[in-house]
Chain A
Amino acid sequence: QVQLVESGGGLVKPGGSLRLSCAASGFTFSDYYMNWIRQAPGKGLEWVSYIGSTNIYTHYADSVKGRFTISRDNANNSLYLQMNNLRAEDTALYYCAGGWGGTPAWWGQGTLVTVSS
């Protein structure tokens, strides 16, 4: 069955960097677009970034543009999010999500990023 497992979250100081990873299994990873979506504690869902099935097409929310970079390694069925210059407002649970039918069908369980001094 489809599995998405995020890792790499943790506590980081403002201005710091973190790299999130998502390991995919149970489907042909290279055939599908992927996203990062986040949820601040007690808040709603916020779309962060999209990457097409290859590394050619990427899109970002304005709130992270220029600071975050999405990438993927289809040979290793992995999705990444490089996060630089982190701010307190980036504190959230980060979900890896992707699939078919327009909106993401498959979601991981999330990895928590906390930005605090």
Chain B
Amino acid sequence: DIQMTQSPSSLSASVGDRVTITCRASQGIRNDLGWYQQKPGKAPKRLIYAASSLQSGVPSRFSGSGSGTEFTLTIASLQPEDFATYYCLQHNSYPWTFGQGTKVEIK
């Protein structure tokens, strides 16, 4: 099974800060990765697919990069509504696996 190691597990940042979340795959997964945002009591929402493609309707402050084993989600300028937990998901091989999640808190 492919393990997805996500870091950090939580972070606290101020409005306007640049935030970076990383997922590392235990083996190469090409660009077969998506990023999700989940707010309390809500279903996850896809932000990024194919590692770097922005989902329609998602603000351009969100971006994804990486290929192979290292992937990054960047929020260019953190907004109050970005308080949430973020997950990566690899779909390169079964079983699909999620990262452990990163909880983003607003300072």
Contacts and interface: CB of A to CB of B under 8 A. Distances in A.
Nearest to B46: A105
Contact of A50 (B38, B94, B98): B94
B49 A107 contact: no
Given A102-B32, A103-B89, A45 B44 contact: yes
A38 B72 CA distance: 24
Contacts, number: 59
B98 A44 contact: yes
A47 B49 contact: no
Interface residues of A, number: 20
A101 B53 contact: yes
Given A44-B87, A108-B43, A101 B95 contact: no
Contact of B55 (A95, A105, A109): A105
A35 B101 CA distance: 20
Contacts of A107: 43-45
B96 A50 contact: yes
